[in-house]
């Protein structure tokens, strides 16, 4: 199977049209069309719906595999270079927003000092958004909330983080610390959307305490919830690191007895060996998490 044909199909999937795919590949549209048509004949199926420019069901399945093949080829090149003591190459790392704010600066600094040959591409998102990108080969590693539900992924824990109630400094609840979960029964909260791992943990803790949490609104993404809280739209249960240092004077992180900790870890694909640069970034992630967590209130490294 010609790798150029797979690359052409992936480009069409990424860019939406044959002409845009040709621009991205620095070639002409006829070449892209020819590569995709030959791949279709080889597999005996239609991979792209010509009326919409979108991959068919079969095409999407091939694209997922093609991304993994491309990632393995890049890993192969990086591994060979590593035998010459040249750990170099690109690593695509996904990271959830509240963790990225304190982890990314430390990771970039460590990379510049210890692995200058590695180029890091950081992608911020929610766990639910990063995990499919990791499965599909768009990312090499992802720092996400654990556990990861996808069977195609494995993960190792990095740290546990306290969950706290974040309120304005002048809110009466701020003076009552620590609180019990029962104290939140009548408080309209900005909550994660139902069905996310974070919301499931909150609802389970509330159920065990005999409490039903009241949503003022349900939102997708901890960074969004935190932003709305800091703009005065209501209190929220958030990870301890969601409150940046420059806002701590105007807001309070109130401990709540009965709230669980969230566990954050680094996930990778179950199949396929990470490249030498990805393994180097993984090692740095372990190091900077352990060293940086001491400066983050409510963060406890998993040893």
Predicted pLDDT of residue 234: 92
Cβ-based burial of 84 (10 A; exposed 0-12, middle 13-18, buried ≥19):
exposed
Domain of 281, CATH number, reads 3.40.190.10
Q: Per-residue pLDDT for 84 more than 60?
A: no
How many Å apart are CA 203 and CA 208, to the nearest integer? 9
Is the distance from CB of 166 to CB of 236 less than 8 angstroms? yes
Predicted pLDDT of residue 95: 96
Same structural domain for residues 120 and 150? yes
Q: Per-residue pLDDT for 111 more than 70?
A: yes
Predicted pLDDT of residue 86: 66
Residue 283 vs residue 136, higher pLDDT: 283
Predicted pLDDT of residue 288: 93
HSE-CB for 132 with a 13 A CA cutoff: 4
Same structural domain for residues 146 and 136? yes
Tokens 């192969």: give the residue: 76
From 13, 36, 68, the end of a domain falls on 68
Q: Per-residue pLDDT for 116 more than 60?
A: yes
Q: How far is CA 55 from the centre of its chain?
A: 25
Q: At what angle do helices 276-293 and 97-114 cross, to 10 degrees?
A: 110
Same structural domain for residues 36 and 174? no
Q: Tens digits of per-residue pLDDT, 136-165?
A: 888 999 999 888 888 889 999 999 999 999
Pairing label, strands 251-257, 153-168: antiparallel
Predicted pLDDT of residue 225: 92
Question: How does residue 4 score in pLDDT terms, banded at 50, 70 and 90?
Answer: confident
How many Å apart are CA 302 and CA 286, to the nearest integer? 10
**The two three-digit tokens of residue 65, written as one number:** 């595999």
Predicted pLDDT of residue 207: 93
Q: Per-residue pLDDT for 210 more than 60?
A: yes
How many Å apart are CA 106 and CA 62, to the nearest integer? 37
Same structural domain for residues 139 and 169? no
Nearest to 274 by CA among 71, 64, 121, 65: 71
Same structural domain for residues 135 and 207? no
Same structural domain for residues 165 and 255? yes
In the predicted model, what is the mean pLDDT of residues 264-273?
Answer: 88
Question: How does residue 113 score in pLDDT terms, banded at 50, 70 and 90?
Answer: very high
Domain containing residue 106 = 77-159+263-301
Same structural domain for residues 180 and 38? no
| Average model confidence (pLDDT) across the chain | 88
Residue 211 Cα distances to 67, 173, 214, 240, 253, angstroms? 46, 17, 9, 22, 21
From 18, 44, 68, the end of a domain falls on 68
In the predicted model, what is the mean pLDDT of residues 26-51?
Answer: 87
In sequence order, what are the beta bridge partners of 201?
none
In the predicted model, what is the mean pLDDT of residues 246-260?
Answer: 85
Domain of 179, CATH number, reads 3.40.190.290
Q: Is 37 helix (H, G, I), strand (E, B) or coil?
A: helix
How many Å apart are CA 204 and CA 182, to the nearest integer? 14
Same structural domain for residues 92 and 152? yes
From 46, 68, 90, the end of a domain falls on 68
* Count of domains observed in the chain: 3
How many Å apart are CA 225 and CA 192, to the nearest integer? 8
Same structural domain for residues 185 and 276? no
Residue 95 Cα distances to 36, 68, 265, 288, angstroms? 34, 20, 10, 14
Same structural domain for residues 118 and 134? yes
Is the distance from CB of 209 to CB of 181 less than 8 angstroms? yes
Predicted pLDDT of residue 85: 62
Predicted pLDDT of residue 223: 85
Predicted pLDDT of residue 121: 94
Predicted pLDDT of residue 71: 74
In the predicted model, what is the mean pLDDT of residues 91-118?
Answer: 92
Q: At what angle do helices 3-15 and 57-82 cross, to 10 degrees?
A: 120
In sequence order, what are the beta bridge partners of 76?
none
Query: What percent of the chain has a predicted confidence (pLDDT) above 90?
Result: 40
Cβ neighbours of residue 201 closer than 8 Å, sequence gap 6 or more: 260, 262
- DSSP character at residue 294: T
pTM of the predicted structure, to 2 decimals: 0.71
Same structural domain for residues 275 and 151? yes
Same structural domain for residues 129 and 15? no
Domain of 55, CATH number, reads 1.10.10.10
């Amino acid at each position: 199977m010609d790798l150029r044909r797979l690359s052409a199909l992936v480009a069409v999937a990424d860019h939406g049209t044959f002409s845009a795919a040709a621009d991205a590949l620095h070639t002409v549209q006829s070449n892209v069309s020819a590569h995709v048509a030959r791949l279709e004949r080889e597999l005996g199926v239609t991979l792209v719906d010509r009326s919409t420019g979108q991959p068919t069901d079969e095409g999407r399945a091939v694209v997922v595999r093609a991304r993994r093949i491309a990632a393995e080829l890049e890993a192969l090149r990086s591994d060979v270079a590593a035998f010459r003591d040249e750990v170099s190459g690109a690593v695509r790392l996904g990271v959830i927003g509240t963790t990225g704010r304190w982890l990314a600066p430390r990771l970039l600094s460590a990379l510049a000092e210890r692995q200058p040959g590695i180029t890091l591409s950081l992608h911020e998102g929610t766990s639910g958004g990063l995990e499919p990108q990791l499965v599909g080969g768009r990312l090499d590693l992802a720092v996400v909330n654990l556990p990861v539900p996808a069977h195609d992924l494995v993960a190792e824990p990095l740290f546990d983080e306290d969950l706290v109630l974040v309120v304005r400094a002048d809110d009466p609840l701020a003076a009552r610390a620590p609180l019990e979960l029962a104290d939140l029964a009548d408080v309209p909260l900005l909550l994660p959307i139902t069905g996310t791992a974070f919301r499931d943990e909150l609802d389970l803790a509330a159920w065990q305490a005999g409490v039903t949490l009241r949503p003022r609104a349900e939102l997708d993404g901890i960074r969004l919830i935190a932003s709305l809280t800091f703009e005065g739209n209501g209190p929220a249960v958030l990870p301890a690191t969601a409150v940046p240092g420059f806002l701590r004077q105007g807001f309070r992180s109130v401990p709540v007895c009965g709230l669980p900790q969230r566990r954050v870890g680094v996930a990778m694909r179950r199949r396929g060996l990470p490249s030498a640069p990805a393994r180097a970034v993984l090692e740095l992630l372990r190091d900077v998490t352990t060293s940086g967590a001491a400066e983050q209130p409510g963060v406890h490294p998993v040893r």
